[in-house]
Structure 1
Amino acid sequence: MAARPKLKSDKKEPAAETKPGEYPLGSGDLTSEVYHKVRDAIRKGTLSIGERVTEADLATRFGVSRTPVRDAIVRLEADGLLTNEPRRGLIITDLSHQQIVELYFMREVLEGAAARQAAQSASDIELRTIAEIAESESDHLGDFDELGEINVKFHRMTMLAAHNRYLLRSLSQLSVTMSLLPSLLSRGTRAADACKEHQEIVTALLARNSEAAEDAARRHVRSSLQHRMLLSIRNT
């Protein structure tokens, strides 16, 4: 008896899972590396808001070929960090005053909720970690690059300690847009003020006082917005 021909299966291979806020990479990890380096450069101010960028410039800056840069640009445009303007080309997105106000409104709501949840759900180890991160700030008040990294760790750990995947997804996406706002830590007394505000959040978290933790987190965000607005007025 002749063997029956094998039929081509209609079953498709499962697509690779993409995490919230991520996009499939066209050129492997190098694309992701360029993407995060651009975000970091914007946050630190080495790439200025409104500055024009090109594939060639970014490839030279990061010492890579144009292919991963091209793929990274697709992600950066999708996340709203780059805008393609007529006659100018790609620029670092310049948020309007209203967009900044809306962004901080959502940040206050989400970070307040994260602090409340962390006070209720975080493990003792997680809370001690948050406290240690906050304590380390006072040793780096003059080192703004290091202070910026510590600040990111503090907020990231608080987000994780909330143990709410949907809240974490929303905050992670929000942090992408926040990359467009250069750090305020080197401006005036903001570093010392932020350090004090973080300690107030920590005090509430360690006491497992969810209401006080949310209130402290919300006041911290409002303080940051006020500082940014005052700075904007002075520069106009």
Structure 2
Amino acid sequence: MNDPVLSLSGITKTYNTGQPNEIAVLRGASLDLARGEVVGLVAPSGAGKSTLLHIAGLLDTADAGEVSIAGEALGGKSDRRRTILRRQEIGFVYQFHHLLPEFTALENISLPMLANGTAKDAAETRALQLLASVGVESRAHHRPAALSGGEQQRVAFCRAMANGPKLLLADEPTGNLDPGTSDTVFGALMTLVRETGLSALIATHNLELAARMDRRVRLDGGALVPL
């Protein structure tokens, strides 16, 4: 098998809250995510799934264990190298869209590409293609406040895909939407992921959505186990 796009090996994370007892959130969590694979991460609030996603996305560091992206182990790597990998290889989607309110949908998607050195015309062309792929190209020149919740989240998906990452990490990406909109928006996300051959780790409370992924894992006592 080729190197997994994401490999988590023995990840541990403990928080010291100032109380007598520390909180061990992750205890030896391990996972290999193959190229093109979509895995659902199922866990209740407070179980540590956001912590796991932040460590997988190089936004946080583990107390122990190793994170590898596309075969490159990140333990001991410089902050600069981690930042480059995060910018080029990883896309993030959160429950709330976090779009910049002063910019249009087109501009929100173009900004990560411009920051990565893409020419403006090329960035805008790709942004429009991404918007078309999720059915909201007609909203390209609207700011987030003028978009519905489902449209906002689809724009956020496009922004996450802007730089052509290998890995998508999504934390309850439809958790802020009503059931009907959630189903439609999740379908748009899955279409985008499948068309690009992306690997994705998607945290969700929704077991029906999780059932549409290739496989599912859950956090149990700080470890990842098949569901």
- The TM-score with structure 2 as length reference comes to 0.24
Higher-Rg member (1/2) = 1
Instruction: State the structure with bigger RCO (CA 8 A, min sep 6), 1 or 2.
Output: 2
Greater percentage in helix: 1
Greater percentage in strand: 2
- The TM-score with structure 1 as length reference comes to 0.24
